Amino acid sequence: MDFIEAKTLLRKVKFEKKKWFGIDYIMNLYKGCNHGCIYCDSRSKRYFIQDFDKVRGKFGVEAILSKELRRYKRGIIDIGAMSDTYNPLEKRYCLTRNALEIIRDYDFGVSITTKSNLIERDADILEAIGKRYAVNIKFSITSADDKMASVIEPNVVPTSERLKAMKRLSEKGIFVGVLITPILPFLTDDINNIKSIVQLAHEYGAKFVYTKYGMTMSDGQREYYLKKLDDNFKGISRKYQYFYGKQYSCLSRNYNVLQEAFVDECNKYGLLYKMDDIIGSNKICSLYEQLSLFDV
Ligand code: SF4
């Protein structure tokens, strides 16, 4: 793996972004991602990531992060907004694991979105961070069907393996849930898919499920996505061009129906689905744990 220089790692989020799972900082330990999701927004030209499918690690993560955490106010760090931090190279290079150890030692919280079951390796540290402050782990699942997942997310474990990993983290008391984003028009926006994901989330220990009804498309990403549609799903790209043209936000055309089914299913299984409730529940857990430390 190639390494690139990094002067800083943490970026403070603007106030309104704190609404995203309560995060205070964003940090990427890798540049690029090789999971190959055909819809990936990070592939867009506006992020200026050359050779996106090639993963490069950041050099000197431990020293930079320790220095920043000494100075920064305690908060929740989101790892891997532009790149799944559990890419296959993490198994060998452990940038994420080392960063988590530092986050634990400085008493910060962490929020991670992943499609990989490699996260299970770090359950011990996540458990420790969750006991002291906040942890929320979002498993990104777009299709309940492994076959569909293997086409739209070709280089990462299928949905069934992600769910098993989620269950094992949940059994350790780690706050886990499912992120159903994006929902791909004409491919994954059918009601049975959404209902199945919510049901599976419940069966596999999720505390929450969060979704948005559509996808984004911008220059660079759009061309790549439409080409992959042509390679794998004949006739679908024409529908995109007809209904969405060059639009950035491509909202599922049946989103009202999906929303109703999604809410019904979440209520049926007692899953949190509103962002404020998810954030509140995560912080309440942390506060409870902190208070219980003083009871001993
Ligand atoms: S895992 Fe995330 S960052 Fe990586 S290719 Fe898929 S959507 Fe993009």
pLDDT value, residue 48: 86
Mutate which of 29, 78, 85, 115 for ligand 1? The one with the most ligand atoms within 8 Å of its CB, which is 115
pTM, rounded to two decimals:
0.94
Is it the case that residue 74 has pLDDT exceeding 90?
Answer: yes
Query: Which of 29, 30, 35 to mutate to test ligand 1, by most ligand atoms within 8 A of the CB atom?
Result: 35
pLDDT digits 0-9 by tens, 40-71: 999 998 888 889 999 999 999 999 999 999 99
pLDDT higher than threshold 50 for residue 119: yes
Whether the CB-CB separation of 159 and 146 falls below 8 Å is answered with yes
pLDDT band at 116 (very low <50, low <70, confident <90, very high): very high
Alpha-carbon distance of 39 to 215, in angstroms, equals 8
Q: Which of 29, 37, 150, 215 to mutate to test the pocket of ligand 1 (most atoms within 8 A of CB)?
A: 37
C-alpha 49/C-alpha 42 separation (Å) is 8
Closest CA to 173 of 244, 123, 208: 123
Q: Is 141 in the pocket of ligand 1 (CB under 6 A)?
A: no
pLDDT tens digits along 145-197: 999 999 999 999 999 999 999 999 999 999 999 999 999 999 999 999 999 99
Supply the residue whose CA is at minimum distance from atom 6 of ligand 1: 37
Q: Which of 171, 178, 166 is nearest to 141 (CA)?
A: 178
Range scoring the smallest mean pLDDT among 76-85, 89-98, 109-118, 284-293 = 284-293
> Is pLDDT of 295 > 50?
no
DSSP states of 69-87: HHHSPS-EEEE-SSS-TT-
Span 98-110, mean pLDDT?
97
- Going by alpha carbons, the residue nearest to atom 7 of ligand 1 is 40
For ligand 1, the distance from its centroid to the CA atom of residue 291, given in whole angstroms, is 37
**Atom nearest to 39 CA in ligand 1:** 7
Q: What pLDDT is stored for residue 286 in this prediction? A: 52
Asked if the model's pLDDT at residue 252 lies above 80, the reply is yes
Q: Domains (ranges, CATH) in the chain?
A: 2-280 (3.20.20.70)
Cβ of 152 less than 6 Å from ligand 1: no
Tell me the pLDDT band of 296, cut-offs 50, 70 and 90.
very low
Residue partners of 238: CB distance under 8 A and separation at least 6: none
Stretch 79-91: mean pLDDT: 95
> Which parts of 76-176 fold into alpha helices (H)?
90-93, 95-105, 123-132, 146-152, 159-171
Reduced to 3 states, what is the DSSP secondary structure of residue 209?
strand
**What pLDDT score does 284 carry?**
54
pLDDT higher than threshold 90 for residue 97: yes
DSSP character at residue 50: T
Q: Is the C-beta atom of 83 inside 6 A of ligand 1? A: yes
